[in-house]
Amino acid sequence: MRLGGKTALVTGATSNIGRAIAEAFAAEGAHVVVSGRSKERGTEVVAGIRARGGRADFVRADLDGSAAASRALALDATRVLGGRVDVLVNNAGIYPADTTAATDEETFDRVYAINVKAPFFLTAAVAPAMVDAGGGTIVNLGSWIARLGIPIGALYSSTKGAVETLTRAWAAEFGPQGVRVNAISPGVVLTPGPREIHPAEAMMKGTPAGHVGTPEAIANAAVYLASDESSFVHGTVLDVDGGRTTAAVIAS
């Protein structure tokens, strides 16, 4: 119960990494707001958490990058959680795997709106309230391809680079006021499915892990960063990527 008595808002929590984080937080004792666009999937996640004895509520939000949408989610989540948000996880995002030449201006603006503007204004709405309440923690989701270039997804990579930069800036801005801000940089992560070789498996060849990660592996890191166990950790980007960005295994 490392998060016992705490409240948490997890964006993009209706599937994949966000869902795993919401479930892990609830299992550790937090009252969690599961946020996303799909009421059907959100209700399913909440039902599963409650069936296991956890506390969770669904708050629908379409984080389109507008300040109004982010502020509305902050208000709704704060109300549902009884007046405060102790932990914010900025997870929601989209990933168009296009080349640079194939990316149009509309897509560019939409990806930056969802991946950068939305968490920026959500943090702007939540962090000051955390300060007033005596403290809190914010966990952002970066990506391994923000630092190790691959030939597709340049637009997405740049947004995650922005999020990791914001993590350090927010740590300097809010840390002295009692709000810790850190980020997780996931590697290649897949939800377990049928025993088939996924094309993404190739990206993990030559790494210490040698295989793709699971959403639960990222969730474990999020629990650590949200809990008091990481009380001396500020402004870091925690690589949870099987060694993809730090080590190369040379086959003999």
Tens of pLDDT, residue by residue over 136-190, are 999 999 999 999 999 999 999 999 999 999 999 999 999 999 999 999 999 999 8
What is the C-alpha separation between 24 and 186, in angstroms, rounded?
A: 16
Q: Helices (H), strands (E): how many in the chain? A: 7, 7
Q: pLDDT at residue 197 above 90?
A: no
Q: Do the beta carbons of residue 63 and residue 74 sit within 8 Å? A: no
Structure tokens at 4: 């016992």
Q: pLDDT at residue 122 above 90?
A: yes
* Angle, helix 67-80 to helix 118-133, in steps of 10 degrees: 40
Residue pLDDT, tens place only, 2-52 = 999 999 999 999 999 999 999 999 999 999 999 999 999 999 999 999 999
What is the C-alpha separation between 205 and 12, in angstroms, rounded?
A: 29
For 184-193, 195-204, 208-217, 236-245, which range has the lowest pLDDT when averaged over its residues? 195-204
* pLDDT confidence tier of residue 193, bands split at 50, 70 and 90: low
Give the pLDDT confidence score for residue 235 in this predicted structure: 98
Give the pLDDT confidence score for residue 252 in this predicted structure: 47
Structure tokens at 54: 């956890």
Question: Mean pLDDT throughout 112-138?
Answer: 98
Q: pLDDT at residue 96 above 80?
A: yes
| 132 contact partners, CB below 8 Å, separation of at least 6 | none
User: Can you tell me which residue has the tokens 């549902």?
Assistant: 80
Q: Which residues of 125-142 are buried (b: 16+ CB within 10 A; e: fewer)?
A: bbbebbeeeeebbbbbbb
Residue pLDDT, tens place only, 52-92 = 999 999 999 999 999 999 999 999 999 999 999 999 999 99
Q: How many CB atoms are closer than 10 A to CB 69?
A: 18
Q: Within 82-194, where are the H helices?
A: 105-112, 118-133, 154-174
Q: How many CB atoms are closer than 10 A to CB 72?
A: 17
Q: Is 156 one of the catalytic residues?
A: yes
Structural domains of the chain, ranges and CATH numbers in brackets = 7-240 (3.40.50.720)
